[in-house]
A and B are shown apart, each in its own frame.
Chain A
């Protein structure tokens, strides 16, 4: 019984930290631009496919394609901002809402066209197998993904706090007009944060590809849960999103274990709704 409980706690942490990394990218974009990127889940999918094709075509392990996934997604995010999102920034709210939704549908269907709807797995990643810690099996790739998520999240916080560019992003997030008056090129900051937010989800994609199946619709539920995490943690709060990701991991896993797996996502969304009801600004908003 105790082993089982321990196992579930470990699993909660493993899935929760990956959720965190996915959500941090989303919250960064929201914080700076007040735009919800509905294509976030599909960006995750593209990241996974980059890792998959690097592995299949060139034999490069997902662990080593992390920088490439980050760079590729940075570029994708940057271009999507430059050529699509920036065009509607001054437009009506609905246009801003719908535009990334369009990108999402396009990417998912484009992926079906390019790569067929088949399911893929990376069969022999560098990191595979399980460690036994006492009676608790710990999946090595999941552990690596989780550890990587924590490191990358910490790096993002450091980057925002310590570097000039990071401070410019934070300043824009706090007050766009004042930042503009202080001589910060907010349009550049926008593009940069869209790129960085996307790069983060690209890294998450590389980690996930080590143990998760890959197909064009894989981003769906991840995207939805990360919206939930962003709102739960407090819109725009990096630390909030990290914490909320872990909490959601626990709620989902333990909720499924103790109550009924059929309702585990219902429990997740219920916890989210209750939080928003009691504390509309989110945990750390």
Chain B
């Protein structure tokens, strides 16, 4: 008896000693795959971060569970090529600050041992976070930051699925040209207004470039701090410049404050063509009818469901889970988990080099994404999705409707902007 006990003891001890080994190879790879998700979960952009988080959570539910949806990995449980391994999310709070982006990405990789990262909504944060993952040689898939510079760094491990501000800016000017051609509405001057961090400043740069290319006169070029308490001096300058169209790149707090100040000071250009802040879920509940007739760049609008049933199906699931309609941010963040999971599944391993190789070979057809895109395929040099395009939506009756490209419009554009005084 004593002998057997000793043998049992030895076996137990040996298996205990071997546990870390087992965990690092077979177990961790077969059962769960850890993906780091970086978002501003507290701080100024907490409401936006929460929205992104919902999108990511639903995506991972769909990957891990069995759903009859035309999305990558939806019909199987987990990743079939890795024995049905499930995705496990490890959340990191960036608090909306670039310095945390880097520190949190490092923590995710070195301590939590994630095999890939997604996030982080704000371009400035994505920039530092992906610098860390690049150094640590871990793939990073971003579907929610739009600064063009992110994919101009020749990074080997960074991929972006969503359109960037360069293409958005170009879209805005194509829209103005279309307006002239099809609706006979002439626009000559534009004013550029943008918040002064990575996102806004780059939008400003791109817009300036395209304004010259398309032949529009820029009468004001104003950058400002997004956390401003008062923006009357900015609006004062805009009124003085009197542009036909205002192009505004903002986050949410400034979008709300500017909208109120535009109204209060009676700033009435022919059109407001905006980005980001105006399509946050917090914007309309805050400004209500004052948000009507704003035009916003977008990748997503619920009315796409008319032409793409997948949008409606995913929205049903989202509604069931969160009691909310799927919006711009959630839908954007929703995409990255599929792209990385699909690549890991094809790679049949979580080894970074092999996964990166698989990511480069990504080829997801257009009917498996939520947007009016031809699909997902990365440019071999920049690793930017070559099919990503934007649309423009307009707020009418306090809801977002696709208005451009005119051929996929769900509602007619209201132009010019009805003056604040004429609205009650």
- What residues make up the interface of A, taking CB atoms closer than 8 Å to B? 1, 4, 7-8, 11, 15, 109, 112, 116-121, 123, 130, 137, 139, 142, 211-213, 215-217, 220-222, 225, 252-257, 260-262, 264-265
Contact = CB atoms under 8 A, between A and B. Distances in A.
A112 B46 contact: yes
A112 B67 CA distance: 34
Output the residue of A8, A120, A221, A256 with the most chain B CB within 10 A. Answer: A256
11 contacts: A120-B286, A121-B287, A137-B265, A213-B256, A222-B229, A256-B234, A257-B237, A261-B224, A262-B222, A264-B228, A265-B228
Nearest to A10: B232
Contact of A257 (B233, B252, B265, B283): B233
A119 B233 contact: no
A221 B222 contact: no
B100 interface: no
Interface in B217-232: 222-225, 227-232
B233 A8 contact: yes
Contacts of B234: 256, 261
B240 interface: yes
Contacts of A264: 224-225, 228, 233
Given A137-B265, A256-B233, A261-B228, 8 more contacts: A4-B239, A119-B253, A120-B286, A220-B227, A252-B230, A255-B233, A256-B234, A261-B234
Contacts of B224: 256, 261-262, 264
Interface in B258-273: 260, 264-266
A120 B288 CA distance: 11
B253 A213 contact: yes
B257 interface: yes
A140 to B, nearest CB: 10
B42 A261 contact: no
Interface string B154-165: 000000000000
Given A221-B229, A222-B229, A264-B233, A130 B264 contact: yes
A109 B42 contact: yes
A15 B223 contact: no
A112 B260 CA distance: 24
B257 A213 contact: yes
A15 B261 CA distance: 13
A252 B196 CA distance: 17
Given A4-B240, A137-B264, A213-B286, A116 B228 contact: no
Contacts of A137: 264-266
Contacts of A121: 256, 286-288
Most chain A CB within 10 A, of B44, B256, B264, B282, is at B264
Please indicate which of the listed interface residues B232, B234, B253 has the most CB atoms of chain A within 10 Å of its own CB: B232
B282 A118 contact: yes
A255 B237 CA distance: 12
Given A119-B285, A137-B266, A253 B43 contact: no
Interface in B265-321: 265-266, 282-283, 285-288
A7 B239 CA distance: 11
Interface of B: 42-44, 46-47, 50, 196, 222-225, 227-234, 236-237, 239-240, 252-253, 256-257, 260, 264-266, 282-283, 285-288
Nearest to A8: B236
Contacts of A142: 264
A11 B233 contact: yes
A53 to B, nearest CB: 16
A15 B47 contact: no
A68 to B, nearest CB: 23
Contacts of A257: 233, 236-237
B252 A211 contact: no
List the 4 closest pairs (A to B, CB-CB), nearest first.
A256-B233, A117-B46, A11-B232, A257-B233
Contacts of A260: 222-223
Contact of B225 (A116, A118, A265): A265
B282 A119 contact: yes
A137 B231 CA distance: 15
Contact of B252 (A11, A109, A119, A212): A119
A131 to B, nearest CB: 11
Nearest to A116: B47
A261 B233 contact: yes
Contacts of B47: 116-119, 215
A18 B44 CA distance: 22
> Which of A213, A254, A255 is packed against the most chain B CB atoms within 10 Å?
A213
Nearest to A208: B229
A212 B287 CA distance: 11
A4 B50 CA distance: 41
A118 B285 contact: yes
Contacts of B287: 121
A15 B230 contact: yes
B246 to A, nearest CB: 14
A264 B44 CA distance: 20
Contacts of B44: 217, 220
Contact of B232 (A1, A15, A116, A120): A15
Which of A120, A213, A253, A261 neighbours the largest number of chain B CB atoms within 10 Å of its CB?
A261
Which of B231, B233, B234, B239 has the largest number of chain A CB atoms within 10 A? B233
Contacts of A261: 222-225, 228, 231, 233-234, 237
A116 B49 CA distance: 12
A9 to B, nearest CB: 11
Contacts of A255: 233
B276 to A, nearest CB: 14
A118 B47 CA distance: 6
B346 to A, nearest CB: 38
